[in-house]
Structure 1
Amino acid sequence: MENIQQLKVDKEPQETLAMDPMKFILWLFLVSIIMLFASQTSAYLVRRAEGNWLEFEMPKIFWYSSAVLVISSLSMQWAYFAAKKDDFKTLKIAISVTFALGMAFLWMQFEGWKDLVAANVYFVGNPSGSFFYVFTGLHGFHIISGLIVLLFAWRAVFRFKVHSKSLRQIQICATYWHFLDLLWLYLFVFLLTFN
């Protein structure tokens, strides 16, 4: 009898470490973005050290767009907290505000490009301008993908598919949006420091 009980104890399944497949894919995607921008910033530093580098002042609108993106990250977190509390009215407002601020950020980046052109800083020409356009353009592309993710989450929110017992979609959306915010702050400080 004791041997049978011992066998039962020995045969109990062990808990495995598992991760939501969608969250795992998201984290793989984030790591690939980090590698992309790490390689680009390394190339920037190497090329800058070679000389023939045009120094220019970053247009002020990039400061304002940075503030807009930080505020959008706060509104995204506000949306997540509202979802956890089943506060659907606040959730709808917060996710809509986040989307609007994301669009405002993109518009401000475009206006910043126009200011660069007005200051004779072009994509083709000196490598410093080229790198600036590549960094802001690549980040802008990822913001567009973030807005698409936000649209899917927004749609789910308005169909009441996001709530305290179904948080996966808003968690993925919030993680990606916060990542894009941090990525921009890194690029912004990098470009201010090494321009």
Structure 2
Amino acid sequence: MMELVSSEQHKRLHPHKFTLWVAMASIIMMFAGLTSAFIVKSNLTGWRTMVLPKVFWVSTVVILASSVTMQMATKAFKAREMLRYRSLITTTFVLGLVFVVCQVFGFFDLWNQNIRFKGSSGAGQFFYAIAGLHALHILGGVVALAVMLIRSVAGKTKHYNSTPVEVMGMYWHFVDLLWLYLLIFFLIVG
């Protein structure tokens, strides 16, 4: 009987994972709405297009590398290789910060191209809003990574429950894929 209950519990979706799925669905809807508004507004007269700064390609490589290190960190945690886990989660944390710094440099480059957030500049306005919101989601992930790193260094990991690490990994891969979607969207439509 006990084995049956334990087996049933393993088949259920963990509440944290369910909450993450709901959050990701709402984030998808938000970005879908913003990119849809971009398409609608781009058909208006006076619309100004923009060229993506090259630093956004660097940030793309950085975010993809961080996804790899996050996946490796998850595997290391599950294998109880805590030194390797700490090293990889630190690397993911640093790469997340580098991504945000690259985004800021990209925003400065756009600003220097006279693409402003206010007024009727067109694509640039949307890009600031959309990429800025994405950067905020990355910063939220970086804060979560910092908490996980501090817990691992402080020895707070008494139980090897991989759910928090898995949830963080799912979120991190999600924001990585979201960036790829946004980059491709602005390359094709923008």
Q: Which residue of 1 aligns with 2:58?
A: 64
- What secondary structure does 2:42 align onto? helix
- How far the C-alpha of 1:186 sits from its partner, in A, is 0.3
The partner residue of 1:54 within 32, 43, 48 is 48
Q: Is the contact made by 1:84 and 1:163 (CA closer than 8 Å) also made in structure 2? A: no
Q: Is the contact made by 1:76 and 1:98 (CA closer than 8 Å) also made in structure 2? A: yes
**2:116 aligned with 1:122:** yes
Structure 1: gaps spanning 5 or more residues = 1-11
Q: 1:67 to 1:162 in 2, by over 3 A?
A: farther
- How far the C-alpha of 1:160 sits from its partner, in A, is 4.1
Q: Which residue of 2 aligns with 1:7?
A: none
Q: Which residue of 2 aligns with 1:154?
A: 149
- What secondary structure does 2:49 align onto? coil
CA distance in 1, matches of 2:88, 2:147: 15
- How far the C-alpha of 1:18 sits from its partner, in A, is 2.9
CA distance in 1, matches of 2:134, 2:158: 30
Q: Which residue of 1 aligns with 2:160?
A: 165
CA distance in 1, matches of 2:158, 2:54: 39
Structure 2: gaps spanning 5 or more residues = none
Q: How many residue pairs align between the two structures?
A: 184
**2:24 aligned with 1:30:** yes
165-174 vs 153-162, which deviates more?
A: 153-162
Deviations 1:67-114 (A, max 9, x none): 100001101011011111111111011000000000001011001011
- How far the C-alpha of 1:156 sits from its partner, in A, is 2.5
- How far the C-alpha of 1:161 sits from its partner, in A, is 4.5
TM-score, normalized by length of structure 2?
A: 0.90
TM-score, normalized by length of structure 1?
A: 0.88
- What secondary structure does 2:12 align onto? coil
**Which residue identity does 1:130 align to in structure 2?**
Q
Q: Is the contact made by 2:69 and 2:92 (CA closer than 8 Å) also made in structure 1? A: yes
Q: Which residue of 2 aligns with 1:187?
A: 182
Q: Which residue of 2 aligns with 1:145?
A: 140
CA RMSD of aligned residues (A): 2.0
- How far the C-alpha of 1:38 sits from its partner, in A, is 0.5
Larger radius of gyration: 1
